[in-house]
Amino acid sequence: MRLKDRIAIVTGGGSGIGEAVAVRFAEEGARVAVLDVDVKGAELTATLCGGLAVVADVSDSAQVDAAVARVERELGPVDILVNNAGIAGRRNSERLAEKLAAQAAERGTGRIVTGLDALVRLPDDEWRQMFAVHVDGTFYCSRAVARSMKDRGTGAIVNVASICGVEGCTGHPHYSAAKGAVLAFSRALAKELVVQGIRVNAITPGFIETPATSVLTDAQRAGLELTTPIGRLGRPEEIAATVAFLASDDASFSVGSTFAVNGGLLTA
């Protein structure tokens, strides 16, 4: 019950990691607002965690401001924000599938001749959408909750980035760039806001079993299991446990950190 009576907003709470975070927070005593652009997902998770479903698109600042105002009205001032809403870039992944299979066949031959052409085939709208959801969304939500957090001198923000934001993931330049921006943003915020009682930290999950990764082919999944030292993908509950720690007073000296939760895939 480390989060007893805390008011939390979990963006992207309608699925996968966000759902697990919302449930874990409720188990630890928090009252949770499940913010998601997907009505059904938000309502389902809200039922699971006894929370409030709030439908909003994090990439729209007016919707975010209205959503946060509603949470403050109905639940109270926000103590915890988890910026988790995200997209994987499905159209890009679909375009890559054939080229990745060709590269896989060439591995071990001493020469990979197939280029992925991810960059040159990436349209403007997919680039912008990736930044709108991850970077704009994290900015809008953080700004909206920080206004009252700073006046009350307390708060915790946890940003869900990715190993791709540290390492750079082949074939996903827009996702990698957006997650890298989230990490840099987190560090700057952390240094600014800690004097006002707000702690900001980020996590970098590896590959986690969620609807977002359910599109992986068996061969891709086997490849990830092989390259992840622990030998498997992670579970959303394992991410939720780390987020709960960072959101709680147990992490009172963690400021601007990047927590790796990736089964050993990236240890530096």
Q: Which residues bind ligand NAI (CB under 6 A)?
A: 11-12, 14-18, 36-38, 41, 57-59, 84-87, 133, 137, 160, 162, 205, 207-208, 210-213
Residue with tokens 């938000």: 42
Residue 83 Cβ vs ligand NAI, minimum distance, rounded to whole Å: 8
Beta carbons within 10 angstroms of residue 232's beta carbon: 12
C-alpha distance from residue 46 to each of 20, 26, 57, 80 (Å): 11, 10, 17, 16
In 3D, which of 58, 39, 183, 34 has the Cα closest to residue 129?
58
Which one, 53 or 116, has the nearer CB to ligand NAI?
Answer: 53
Spatial distance between the Cα atoms of 229 and 176, rounded to a whole number of angstroms: 21
Q: Is 41 exposed, middle or buried (0-12, 13-18, 19+ CB in 10 A)?
A: buried
Which one, 84 or 93, has the nearer CB to ligand NAI?
Answer: 84
What would the two tokens of residue 248 be?
Answer: 């709680």
Spatial distance between the Cα atoms of 144 and 67, rounded to a whole number of angstroms: 9
Residue 71 Cβ vs ligand NAI, minimum distance, rounded to whole Å: 14
Which one, 57 or 72, has the nearer CB to ligand NAI?
Answer: 57
Residue 60 Cβ vs ligand NAI, minimum distance, rounded to whole Å: 8
**Catalytic hit among 139, 140, 175, 185:** 175
Crossing angle for the helix pair 16-27 and 39-49, nearest 10 degrees?
20
Spatial distance between the Cα atoms of 41 and 50, rounded to a whole number of angstroms: 14
CA neighbours closer than 13 Å in the CB half-sphere of residue 92: 25
Spatial distance between the Cα atoms of 44 and 46, rounded to a whole number of angstroms: 5
175 classed as catalytic: yes
Which one, 89 or 256, has the nearer CB to ligand NAI?
Answer: 89
Q: Where are the beta strands (DSSP E) in 121-232?
A: 155-160, 198-205
What would the two tokens of residue 54 be?
Answer: 């709030």
Residue 190 Cβ vs ligand NAI, minimum distance, rounded to whole Å: 19
Which one, 28 or 209, has the nearer CB to ligand NAI?
Answer: 209
The residues that are catalytic are: 175
